[in-house]
Structure 1
């Protein structure tokens, strides 16, 4: 098992086949999927496919979403991190997308912000990327606040599958300036 990042409260590590139960709790919850197309998973077999896809991204791209583990009790909290997106989205392709998804009982505790911030640090300091993007449903107030809090700015609004989404970005210079000011 590879651990990528540790924060004060969290371990961000590779997603493992043994994460099925926590991953199922996360992705079968309709409230978690409210701004994600309202398509919660129905079976653990679907989760196995998702985990296999993410693990293949580690091999193919050297990066993929990470499991968020609570240091206090070793619980699976959700996932966060970067994904190399190779298909075109909003006239962009081959870009690093910042994302996160938490089990509902962990909402409102600053965990997504902590994990997103650690993921950006990894992107700029370890992967040496020039820019990171994020996409969020315009109505998802929680995620919009998190992305702004960790330093991304909304570049534009675009249509994704008939739903307005914000397109966020942060570049290396902006990240380093923000880092120095804290």
Structure 2
């Protein structure tokens, strides 16, 4: 659970990461709204074949993820190149996936929760393509951010408002809303 180093405190893009059910979409949207930054839902960038695969209860493999990660990385780089602040969700489960997304000005915000909480949240939501049965494969795949990565970790066991407050405080970001 490292903090960003000093050069990352002016992060232009936050990648809110974690397994399904962690609340990353809620925290990311709330953070973007409070900051007045652009927001993108990484799940919405999946090609239809990935969505169909997950809906069928089949975990994605690296061959499925690389093209999707390239789309997310393009969104990040376009924002950085244009000097536009943004917040994007992306599971970013492996370091190698985060390496595709990593750039100067990017900070990863890992929303972490215990398995029981994640299962409860996934079971309670409706209309999402990711079935609870895939949580175990995501937890197995997850490689926690390491101290040399510009990242913070927040616990998903509080309200989204409290989690968002912590993100803003730890990154030294001031809300506009």
TM-score by length of 1: 0.29
TM-score by length of 2: 0.30
Q: Which has the higher contact order (CA 8 A, sep 6+)?
A: 2
Higher strand share: 1
